[in-house]
Amino acid sequence: MSFIRRKYAPWTIVGLLALAIFAGRCAPSAPKRAERAAAGGGQSDLAQAAMKTYVAPGDLDEYYFFASGGHSGQVYIYGVPSMRHLSTIPVFTPYPATGYGFDDESKKMLGNLTWGDVHHPALSETGGDYDGRWLFVN
């Protein structure tokens, strides 16, 4: 203890002892879900909610959600209820994953745009019912 001045040594030792005692009392506790399962409570609310939205790999979702990307200039497609991101449709922005905006044809469509604004995707309708043939954005 040569690095600690003699007048501070007793207080340092008392402080370290107190820290050791308090640290020893802070043992990790069992997770709440483990306590509930041990008590026979079954699945947690979170597990029940997850099972309601689960779609097995390879199975199709019941619905599809077309979300505007806003300032990204893209439209995103999600499966519902799984909320998996299924695809990205570039509209007003180059998209390196597919090469959109980098070849001559798509460069010509984009003009001088390097980013855009996509809002309010709407599916096409026939006789007041969605037919899903086209997706319109503005």
> Could you tell me if 78 and 112 lie in one domain?
yes
> Could you tell me if 101 and 70 lie in one domain?
yes
Contact between 87 and 77 under an 8 Å Cβ cutoff? The reply is: yes
> Could you tell me if 19 and 60 lie in one domain?
no
Q: What share of the chain is helix, strand, coil (3-state, %, to 5)?
A: 30, 25, 45
Per DSSP, 22 falls in state H
Q: Is 57 within the bounds of a domain? A: yes
Identify the domain containing residue 42 by its residue range.
9-50
pLDDT tens-digit readout, 118-131: 999 999 999 999 99
- Which pTM was predicted? 0.62
> Could you tell me if 70 and 46 lie in one domain?
no
pLDDT tens-digit readout, 81-130: 999 999 999 998 899 888 888 989 988 988 888 888 999 999 999 999 99
Q: How many domains does the chain have?
A: 2
What whole-number distance in Å separates Cα of residue 57 and Cα of residue 20?
50
